[in-house]
Amino acid sequence: MKIEEQNIATMMIQINGLSPFFLNDIPPAEKTAILILPGPRDHSYREEQGIRIWKKNKLAKYLLVAGTNESPAITIEDIRGLCGVSTGFSNLFFCRKAKNTKEQMEWALSMLENYIPTTVEHIIVSTAAYHAPRCFLTFLASVTAKDKRLIISCLPVYNPEKPDTDYFGLARTGNTGIEGELKRIIEYQKNGDVASLDDYLNYLKWRLAQ
């Protein structure tokens, strides 16, 4: 493995591995939003587990769900059902038109800036464990590009039907799982869609000082 790949693999492990530590030292729920990133319909565990953990632990006041055009079957009614409400719930923000991860993060940041009345100091990014590090780094790139500081945590969730491969992605190769995400991080760093190693280290130093 090349040094560049080793550094990125280390980042990926840290992002998921430090999550439990950081979630013990975060702003109150009133100043926190959770961003759920669904997958295709056969990956519904992403939103199901993310919302279940959010509800059980009362982690955040605001719930953002950013689907993509690859997950058109997911509706706001599905999300309300998982939340246990049939109508209303003004703190729910929903989108399923993003074309890619960058657009998901830009949409979420625009919700925080323009539609949520409370100043949010902390966002929790929740998605499949193998995908969570790239989502974290993509959101960090979007925040850094606007010269903002925002506490970012990860809430990785796992596919209960494939614990041997999906828990950490170790058996998934090619364009899926950890190997595929590592390749995409390297590729997307080149055009600034994903935070660089320096951006990540600067963020980590700032975060540890909070």
Report the percentage of the chain scoring pLDDT > 90: 43
pLDDT value of position 61: 93
Give the mean model confidence (pLDDT) for residues 174-190.
82
Most confident of 72-81, 151-160, 168-177, 190-199: 190-199
Structure confidence at residue 120 (pLDDT): 93
- At 53-69, the pLDDT tens digits run 998 888 899 999 998 77
Write down the pTM of the prediction: 0.88
Band of pLDDT at residue 2, cut at 50, 70 and 90: confident
Helix 132-145 × helix 177-189 angle, to 10°: 20
Task: Note the helical H segments in 58-175.
Answer: 76-83, 101-114, 132-145, 163-166
Q: Cβ(96)–Cβ(71) under 8 Å?
A: yes
Which range is least confidently modeled, 9-18, 30-39, 126-135, 185-194? 9-18
Domain ranges of the chain: 3-208
Helix and strand tally (H, E) in the chain?
Answer: 9, 5
Averaged confidence pLDDT in the chain:
84
Per-residue pLDDT tens for 28-56?
Answer: 999 999 999 987 766 788 899 999 999 88
Interhelix angle 132-145/101-114, nearest 10 degrees? 50
Instruction: Give residue-wise pLDDT tens across range 112-166.
Output: 999 897 789 999 999 988 889 999 999 999 999 999 999 999 998 887 776 545 4
Split at pLDDT 50, 70, 90, the class of 16 is confident
Sheet (strand 122-128) strand order: 92-98, 62-68, 32-36, 122-128, 151-157
More confident residue, 118 or 186: 186
